[in-house]
């Protein structure tokens, strides 16, 4: 073998080795690139999934926000209506308070007038009571004058009456003693009249089984 042939063989072997090494390197690079591509694809898929989930969460948040906004608007409208109703009720209460205040003033005026009338009536009543008291005094005087009797007694009779009236167990006053004498005289006169009536009945033949005590009891 010549030197050139040996060199060519060596170069061919070296080229084969270099080609083999290049193929190995290429295969390794391809596998590495494939792994990187797979990882990138997996990451992209994961990111897309996360994006989809985020989008769904965003839509859910938007829906909740829209629902909350709608509820808040509805609540605001209800509060406005309630406020308007309360304002109307407050106006009505104010009107009623104003009317009550006017009625109170009217009642106070009426009470003032009634107080004046009451004072006038009390004055009239006091005057009327004074007049009644005076009339009662006049009536008592008239009754006393009608039932009183002035009797003129001698000194001896007056002394005897005073002695009888001094006995407190029997008569308290001379007037009581005189009244007792008059009652006894009335009883005695009634008995005498009954006796005379009986005698008259005997003269005319009219008899009765009653006694004189029965006639006395009858009177």
- Reference 212, options 200, 198, 85; nearest CA is 198
pLDDT digits (tens, 9 = 90+) for 133-163: 766 666 655 555 556 667 788 888 888 888 8
Number of Cβ atoms within 10 Å of the Cβ of 180: 13
Q: What's the mean pLDDT in 40-51?
A: 83
Kindly give the residue spans of alpha helices, DSSP state H, lying in the chain. Answer: 3-147, 155-165, 174-203, 212-218
* Residues with Cβ within 8 Å of residue 89, at least 6 apart in sequence: none
Structural domain spans, the chain = 150-219
pLDDT of residue 216 exceeding 60, the answer is no
Q: What's the mean pLDDT in 183-195?
A: 86
Identify which of 5-9, 81-85, 166-170, 200-204 has the greatest average pLDDT.
Answer: 81-85
Count Cα atoms within 13 angstroms, Cβ side, for 117: 6
Q: What's the mean pLDDT in 80-94?
A: 85
pLDDT of residue 182 exceeding 80, the answer is yes
Residue with tokens 């989809």: 52
């Amino acid at each position: 073998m010549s030197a050139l042939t040996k060199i060519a063989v060596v170069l061919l072997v070296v080229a084969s080795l270099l080609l083999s090494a290049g193929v190995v390197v290429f295969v390794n690079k391809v596998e590495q690139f494939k792994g990187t591509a797979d990882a990138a694809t997996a990451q992209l898929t994961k990111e897309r999934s996360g994006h989809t989930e985020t989008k769904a969460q965003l839509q859910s948040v938007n829906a909740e926000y829209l629902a909350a906004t709608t509820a808040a608007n509805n609540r605001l409208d209800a509060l406005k209506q309630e406020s308007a109703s309360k304002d109307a009720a407050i106006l009505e209460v104010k009107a009623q308070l104003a009317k009550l205040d006017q009625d109170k003033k009217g009642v106070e005026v009426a009470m003032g007038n009634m107080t004046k009338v009451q004072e006038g009536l009390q004055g009239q009543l006091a005057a009327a009571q004074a007049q009644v008291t005076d009339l009662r005094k006049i009536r008592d005087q008239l009754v006393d004058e009608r039932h009183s009797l002035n009797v003129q007694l001698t000194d001896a009779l007056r002394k005897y009456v005073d002695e009888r009236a001094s006995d407190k167990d029997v008569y308290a006053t001379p007037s009581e003693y005189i009244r007792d004498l008059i009652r006894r005289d009335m009883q005695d006169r009634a008995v005498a009249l009954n006796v005379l009536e009986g005698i008259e009945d005997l003269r005319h033949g009219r008899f009765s089984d009653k006694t004189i005590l029965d006639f006395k009891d009858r009177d």
